[in-house]
Structure 1
Amino acid sequence: MKVSIKKIDIREICFDDLKKNVVEMGEQAFRAKQIWEWLWAKSAQNFDEMSNLSKALRDKLSSRFSINSVAISQSQLSADKTIKNTFRLHDNHIIEGVLIPTPERMTACVSSQVGCSLTCKFCATGYMERKRNLTAAEIYDQVVLIDKQSKQHYNQPLTNIVYMGMGEPLLNYANVLRSVERITADDGLNMAAKRITVSTAGIAKMIKKLGDDQVKFNLALSLHAANDSKRNEIMPINEQNSLRALAEALKYYYAKTKNPVTYEYIIFDNFNDGLTDAMELAKFCKHLPCKVNIIEYNPISFASFQNAEQDKTEIFAEYLRKQGIITNIRRSRGKDIDAACGQLAVKEK
């Protein structure tokens, strides 16, 4: 009986292991650098694309390894020029990622997990089951595909990346950090770390680990309430990661990295949009240098939350500004195609 051997995705191994494999195949070590360049800088989707390698070497690679590349299954164009993509993975799971064009920047919003386990009450992804973590290469591929899309549609390359799609990045810590390493590497996409923002719902011990690892990218915390009882109500993760624990972790992170933090605050009608809420948020902001992005809510069918009234949002923001806190109001993009913040959710097909 023939036993099928599961091939390793070649992008899951490091350069030194690749070189070792190449030598084991009877090839010269310098071939590893050529293969590495095809995999990352040129984003080859199969070994046949590697035109400066012999057919024999390509066959050897193909017999030992796979390239589990990501493909766009569907794209939708919003009236505001936002493009939402459904990506199909090698095992037929699907995820979503978004290209957000503005006059100042071209931003890719990428996913880090298939689904999510955090069950935030206002987020469509939170109502999905978490199937698995994405590999570093699968995160990388989303960036490559959205960058290509940006050039094709708007004649501009990506300028920014946000890990704000499906999933909780800090629950896929190693793969997220490796994807950032490959995106910022000279032999990868060579993007500046300061152009990358990783957003978390708030896992205190992992925020401290970001500090220990002295990461160079930006950190955003999805806060949405600076009051434990309210935050528990909409974000169950707060029950194990209280505001006090998060404040302590963020102070530790800032001491290690000197990176200011962004607080994301979705503003809900008659829930977290009052003056008391603004005062609580201002108090929380005193812990370390930060800015606040107030985000317009995008209603979903699973939840009854509504966006706060515009005048209350303006009053809320103005109060924070008077406390010396940099505050922006972020208008939603891609609402008409369910591509806006909190709306990403897919059904298996």
Structure 2
Amino acid sequence: MNQGAKQNIRHLNLSQLEQYFQQAGEPKFRAKQVYEWIWAKHARSFEDMTNLGKGLRGKLEEQFSLPALRVELVQHSNDGTLKSRFMTVDHHMVEGVLIPTDERKTACVSSQVGCSLSCKFCATGFMDRKRNLHFDEIYDQVAMINEQSLDNYQQKLTNIVFMGMGEPLLNYANTMKAVERIAAPDGLGMSPRRITVSTAGVAKMITRLGDDQAKFKLALSLHAANDKKRNQIMPINETNNIKALIESLNYYYKKTKQHVTFEYILFQNFNESTKDAEELVRLYRQVPADLINIIEYNPIEQSNFSKPSEESTDLFMRYLEANRVNARLRRSRGKDIDAACGQLANKGGQQ
């Protein structure tokens, strides 16, 4: 039987597994063992499930698929960042990054194969969107990057950011289910407060996050504080303008009582002037935001944007600080292996 015709065992919940084992004449406790293998122990195959008899493993192999991602390539940056290229069972590639600092070990994961949003400064935006990732494929990235963190730094992941390839809120159900599994005590057991989902700004889905009482942190990739400029670099703004985003973010806060983070990449001669900073401060005052991350631009071949001078960046930061805005300048990591913000595009050579 081919893999496609079998049901993915990770798409069954515990009670469905129990039902299967009862119908198969197996003890009910087997369901819990298998559930532990596929989530907490992150088994990549039925053969890994060593406390099950060979016959039972064979039966599961016959009935179900276990289409785990596999690591195709790992690149090591001079600054300790690791970029992994993962292959899906249907031969698509996605990338995930381990970003280590003294205080944190962060996994940056992808939610889609490619992206449909065509942001003009992002390498992934120049790729087609092939498909959404399933929740278990997102979970695989986190589990495998966690293993890399343990192997390389003897520490578990402390944080997860959905800032890799794709728009998480255009893969809403899988993003929510992935977070639920990552946070579950019988999954990876990570606190949702250590998980950040970053969106280019899908207003209707931000509102839905409020209705669904999302527990993770939300970050908005803003990058321009007026519609004219934002339309130029982020086509999504034409249907999700700044007014609509302000309304949805305020609704989200009213429902969840969670502040939002803004992300703002500085581009030379585009969004780095004092007037741009003024507009950003005005917008910051209209939304329950607790932080603006000012991000260093990482040039890509497909775009003509460039990074501003240090002097210009300092002026911009000083303006925000003088206006009592909580702002942080984020230096890029993993630039030498195209692992930095906006560079993920399944590019890169040998290990």
Q: What TM-score, normalized by structure 2, do the two folds share?
A: 0.96
Q: Does 1:143 align with 2:142?
A: yes
Counterpart-to-counterpart distance in 2, 1:122 and 1:5: 36
Matched, 1:182 2:178: no
Deviates more, 1:105-114 or 1:307-316: 307-316
**Hey, what does 1:290 align to over in structure 2?**
290
One-letter amino acid of the counterpart of residue 313, structure 2: T
Measure the CA separation in 2 of the matches of 1:266 and 1:4: 43
Aligned twin of 1:37: 36
Q: What is the letter of the counterpart of residue 42 of structure 1?
A: K
Greater mean alpha carbon deviation, residues 306-315 or residues 205-214: 306-315
Unaligned runs of 5+ in 1: none
Taking a change above 3 Å as real, the CA distance of residues 51 and 3 of structure 1, as seen in their structure-2 partners, is: closer
Alignment of 1:88-167 (within 5 A): 88-167=87-166
Alignment correspondent of 1:52: 51
Q: Distance in 2 between matches of 1:126 and 1:280?
A: 26
Return the alpha-carbon distance in structure 1 between the equivalents of residues 305 and 218 of structure 2.
Answer: 26
Q: CA deviation at 1:217?
A: 0.7
The separation in 1 between residues aligned to 2:196 and 2:4, in whole angstroms, is: 38
Matched AA of 2:342: G
Q: Report SS of the residue matched to 1:294.
A: strand
How far the C-alpha of 1:156 sits from its partner, in A, is 1.5
Separation (CA, whole Å) in 2 of partners of 1:255 and 1:190: 27
Confirm whether residue 337 of structure 1 aligns to residue 337 of structure 2.
Answer: yes
The residue aligned with 1:318 is 318
- The residue that corresponds to 1:305 in the other structure is 305
What displacement does 1:28 show? 2.2
Deviation, structure 1 residue 310: 1.3
145-154 or 202-211: bigger deviation: 145-154
Separation in 1, partners of 2:336, 2:166: 22
Provide closer, same or farther for how the CA distance between residues 254 and 92 of structure 1 changes in structure 2, counting only shifts above 3 A.
same
**Matched residue SS, 2:5:** coil
Q: Distance in 2 between matches of 1:221 and 1:85?
A: 25
Q: Which amino acid aligns with 1:27?
A: E
The 8 Å contact of residues 199 and 219 in structure 1, kept in 2 or not, is answered as yes
1:110 and 1:165 in contact (8 A); partners too = yes
Cα deviation digits, residues 162-201 of structure 1 (max 9, x gap): 0000000001111111111111111011111111100000
Give CA deviations for 1:317-341 in whole Å, capped at 9, x if unaligned: 1211222211000011111110000
State how far apart, in whole Å, the 1-side matches of 2:11 and 2:311 are: 50
Q: Give the drift of 1:3.
A: 9.2
Runs of 4+ in 1 over 3 A off after TM superposition: 2-5
Structure-1 residue corresponding to 2:8: 9
Contact 1:93 1:348 (C-alpha < 8 Å) held by counterparts: no
C-alpha displacement of 1:44: 0.7
Question: Counterpart of 2:306 in structure 1: which amino acid?
Answer: Q
Name 2:239's counterpart in structure 1: 240
Deviations, residues 114-136 of structure 1 (Å, cap 9, x unaligned): 00000000000000010011111
Q: Which residue of 2 aligns with 1:73?
A: 72
Contact 2:3–2:65 under 8 Å retained in 1:
no
> Is the alpha carbon distance of 1:33 and 1:227 closer, same or farther for their aligned partners in structure 2, counting shifts above 3 Å?
same
Q: Which runs of 5+ in 2 are unaligned?
A: none
The residue type equivalent to 2:154 in the other structure is N
Q: CA deviation at 1:348?
A: 12
Q: CA deviation at 1:51?
A: 1.8
**Distance apart, 1:314 and its partner CA:** 1.3
After the TM superposition, which residues 209-288 of structure 1 pair with which residues of structure 2 at under 5 Å, given as runs?
A: 209-287=208-286, 288=288
RMSD, aligned α-carbons = 1.6
